[in-house]
Amino acid sequence: MLSARSVFQEILDDEHSFQLFCSIAASGEAQGGWENARIAALVPDGMRDLAPKVARHGADEDKHGRIFRALLRKRGLPAVPVPAETDYTMLLERRGIGLAHTKLRADEPLTEQDVVVYLAHSRVTEQRAAEQMALLVRHFGDHPEIGRAVRMISGDEDAHLAYCHEELLRLAHRGHGRTIQRVLRRSALAEIAVYRDVSLAVMDHMGRLLRWPAAKSAALAAGIRAGYAYERFAGWHRMVGLRMPDRLDALGTPAPAPA
């Protein structure tokens, strides 16, 4: 029977698929770390109180990249190149979602509008990250090899999502509400399409590494497309709502230790 648990167990049990999975994850986290570090450095003067939180976000992403690389080292595996079609961050940028890397590489301060775009984009992508890590914790939180890592990363992703909610609500109260909703909607609709495409590409690579029969690969691809159809119809709405989180100042206080 196909399930998220059984598929990931196969990926975990095979060195080549595990190597690709961790390499993709480490690359994406490292990219997020760089982006947040640049944004923290370029936050406009009127919003400098936000810079330490953005920097903390970036430091967490760098930490996650190190965690995935450490999981590879424990098996004596090097990282492998990430196929372009599985590069979630790059594909989002190509769709014009988030802040362009050309802007982040420059030394010009960002505008308040840029910060709104960054936070709205992050609110959408952190929703996805928090959900994915919660799934891994549910199925593998007690796993002897990856359990502690997925619990730690999951806690961080929850904090990142809480921070995005809180800061966007503050900006909405400062008059950015319409812009925030517009950017959230655009980001969410682009993200669900990119997530579908990346999921299909990753499963295609995994299927070849694990020598899945054609029927199994087709069933997984159909499931991914069905998930996208639901998200395109209604599921994307969960990515655009804003509510004040239970945990306030999530990136301004020390993170709790993983259980």
In a domain, 258, yes or no: no
Domain total for the chain? Answer: 1
Q: 129 and 239 in contact (C-beta within 8 Å)?
A: no
Which residues, in sequence order, are CB contacts of 147 under 8 Å at separation 6+?
140, 141
Please check whether residue 177 lies inside any domain of the structure.
Answer: yes
Packing angle of the helix pair 177-210, 214-233 (nearest 10 deg): 170
Range of the domain at 111: 4-239
Q: Domain containing 232 — which CATH number?
A: 1.20.1260.10
User: Which residue in this structure is represented by tokens 């890397």?
Assistant: 101
How many Å separate Cα 207 from the centre of its chain? 23
For 107-153, the pLDDT digits (tens) are 999 999 999 999 999 999 999 999 999 999 999 999 999 999 999 99
Domain annotation covers residue 171: yes
Rounded CA separation 52/216 (Å): 46
Per residue in 46-72, pLDDT tens? 999 999 999 999 999 999 999 999 999
